């Protein structure tokens, strides 16, 4: 089934829900008018629907493979990538000084979601490059910026992120890769990295690796880690390509999904690299890339959810079975209608949260206001975890809508579930996102969270005379979230972490209800019906989730390893 980019949904959200207009009113993004915004999204949608989406099946059925040390990519990926690069989509939010469009991240987020919905395996490549561009813009020397950024933004070169090692997964500080200074100011990088998305390809001139490694005087743990640019081919000062660097793809992982995206084991054997940022400050530089990627991965989950929903909806509107009324198709069955309504309303909630997150980042960038920075930081783990959880859940529900045919590969429903599953693990598992939310993001004693709840409750009060049946549940849910947050910030980390995942989910539930309520106020009856479904049927889950949070850690930690093994 063809994929159709949800441009109308993005336009509605930007106009009626997340207030994109405030971004265009800033000096930084004054050119991002609604007309330009709509033109950009329409053009991106054409690329996604006509060029990228047809590659979805080919990437799954004819995976990338390693041949004599060269990564051979799936059929059509070369042309698809070039279309993305030539359209300027890789540098959509990059600085114009180096050839980027300089547009708001909110707009880039919409475009990235459409690309992910069209073909996630291919979209991963430009997403990684976008994260590298941001890291270099913030942390690299002028010489590195001048040499690398124009090539990355144009798509002539691509970028990767090298963190994980066989013995150092989420515990990045346990890495063993080493960096030894060379006499010319460069460094010799040695070590092995695993799970490197798009570690190599056969369609860009160069692949630029950002690699975490430890200098000889680096202390153990994350405080002793530095970040280095290690290109596949060492560029000359004028940007032309010189000698091949001392690095190689050892193997490609055999994965559950995303077969079109080569995930490499990389080996660096005294490879030449250049320091990015300060010595021993690698984590700060890498987190710039990771935070960019976390919002990006949220959109990947939502994009696949959208594609899975479209696939399931088309099947339900065509498949005739049972004694359904009306059209006689299975969409007339109440349970199928329930599944589809859940999928659609969850996608709307997750998409709203991700776009609100991007708006906060844009406003922080444009204004320097610390309150916007705090809002962006708070929403990032929620966006990433909820967006990808919904991707996984929606893809699974899509299989269920298909019934037995969903388990048959030819229908394509299963590919969405296989491809999206890893997004809940990317860039810090969703459990780590939740721990970040209740720990680092609550170091302000919950001030940023309470400010957001204040807005939710004020918006609900303002709508009380218009939609009283929907307002009260949203207001009450926000109050319950507030009370639990007040309790949470007084607890030690064991108690916070024990309830971190249900807390994040409850927060997302309340945010989703707030955005659905805002959508219902637009006067669009279809939006009101969807909001009613979400607020009356899905929002009540927050009660059980918050009860889980308030139980703390004692009963959980009392369960022994023997209890679990018996």
Catalytic (active-site) positions: 427
| Torsion-angle region of 19 (φ positive above 0: left; ψ -120 to 50: alpha; else: beta) | left
- CB-CB contact of 218 with 191 (8 Å): no
Question: Which residue's entry shows tokens 């007084």?
Answer: 490
Q: What is the 3-state secondary structure (H, E, C) of 297-308?
A: HHHHHHHHHHHH
Tell me how far apart the alpha carbons of residues 168 and 92 are, in angstroms, rounded to a whole number.
Answer: 33
Question: 563: how many CB neighbours lie within 10 A of its CB?
Answer: 8
**Nearest CA-CA partner of 229 in 211, 246, 241, 247:** 211
Tell me how far apart the alpha carbons of residues 265 and 195 are, in angstroms, rounded to a whole number.
Answer: 6
Question: Which residue's entry shows tokens 């490197």?
Answer: 196
- What tokens does 306 get? 């959208």
Question: Which residue's entry shows tokens 């959208």?
Answer: 306
Tell me how far apart the alpha carbons of residues 499 and 488 are, in angstroms, rounded to a whole number.
Answer: 9
Tell me how far apart the alpha carbons of residues 289 and 89 are, in angstroms, rounded to a whole number.
Answer: 18
**Regarding beta strands 225-231 and 206-214, do their DSSP bridges make them parallel or antiparallel, or are they unpaired?**
antiparallel
- What tokens does 22 get? 């405030």
């Amino acid at each position: 089934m063809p994929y159709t980019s949800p441009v109308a949904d993005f336009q509605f959200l930007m106009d009626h829900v997340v207030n994109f207009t405030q971004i265009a009113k800033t000096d930084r993004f004054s050119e991002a008018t609604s007309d330009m915004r709509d033109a950009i999204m329409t053009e991106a949608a054409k690329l996604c629907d006509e060029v990228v989406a047809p590659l979805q099946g080919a990437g799954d059925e004819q995976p990338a493979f390693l041949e004599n040390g060269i990564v051979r990519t799936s059929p059509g990926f070369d042309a698809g990538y070039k279309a993305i690069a030539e359209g300027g989509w890789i540098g959509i939010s990059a600085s114009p000084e180096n050839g980027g469009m300089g547009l708001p991240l909110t707009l880039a987020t919409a475009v990235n979601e459409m690309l992910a919905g069209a073909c996630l395996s291919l979209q991963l490549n430009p997403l990684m490059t976008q994260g590298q561009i941001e890291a270099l813009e913030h942390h690299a020397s002028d010489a590195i910026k001048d040499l690398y950024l124009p090539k990355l933004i144009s798509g002539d070169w691509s970028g990767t992120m090298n963190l994980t090692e066989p013995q150092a997964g989420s515990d990045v500080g346990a890495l063993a890769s080493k960096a030894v200074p060379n006499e010319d100011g460069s460094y010799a990088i040695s070590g092995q990295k695993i799970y490197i998305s798009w570690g190599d390809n056969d369609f860009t001139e160069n692949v630029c690796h950002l690699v975490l490694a430890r200098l000889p005087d680096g202390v153990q743990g994350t405080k002793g880690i530095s970040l280095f640019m290690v290109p596949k081919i060492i560029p000359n000062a004028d940007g032309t390509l010189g000698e091949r660097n001392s690095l190689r793809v050892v193997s490609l992982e055999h994965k559950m999904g995303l077969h079109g995206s080569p995930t490499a084991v990389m080996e660096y054997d005294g490879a030449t690299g250049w320091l990015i940022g300060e010595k021993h400050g690698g984590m700060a530089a890498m987190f710039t890339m990771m935070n960019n990627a976390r919002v990006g991965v949220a959109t990947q989950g939502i994009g696949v959810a959208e594609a899975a929903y479209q696939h399931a909806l088309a099947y339900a509107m065509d498949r005739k079975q049972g004694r359904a009324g009306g059209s006689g198709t299975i969409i007339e069955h109440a349970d199928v209608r329930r599944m589809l309504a859940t999928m659609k309303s969850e996608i709307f909630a997750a998409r709203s949260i991700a776009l609100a997150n991007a708006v906060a980042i844009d406003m922080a960038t444009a204004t320097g206001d610390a309150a916007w920075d705090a809002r962006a930081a708070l929403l990032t783990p929620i966006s990433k975890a909820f967006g990808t959880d919904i991707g996984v859940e929606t893809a699974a529900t899509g299989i269920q809508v298909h019934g037995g045919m969903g388990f048959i590969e030819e229908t394509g429903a299963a590919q969405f579930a296989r491809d999206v599953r890893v997004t809940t693990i990317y860039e810090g598992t969703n459990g780590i996102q939740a721990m970040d939310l209740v720990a680092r993001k609550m170091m302000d004693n919950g001030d940023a969270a309470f400010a957001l709840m204040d807005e939710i409750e004020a918006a609900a009060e303002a709508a009380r005379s218009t939609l009283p049946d929907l307002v009260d549940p949203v207001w009450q849910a926000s109050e319950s979230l507030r009370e639990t947050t007040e309790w949470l910030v007084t607890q030690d980390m064991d108690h916070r972490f024990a309830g971190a995942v249900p807390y994040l989910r409850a927060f997302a539930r309340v945010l989703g209800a707030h955005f659905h309520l805002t959508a219902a106020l637009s006067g669009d009856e279809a939006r009101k019906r969807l909001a009613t479904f979400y607020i009356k049927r899905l929002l009540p889950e927050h009660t059980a989730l918050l009860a889980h949070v308030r139980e703390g850690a004692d009963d959980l930690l009392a369960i022994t390893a023997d209890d679990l093994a018996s």
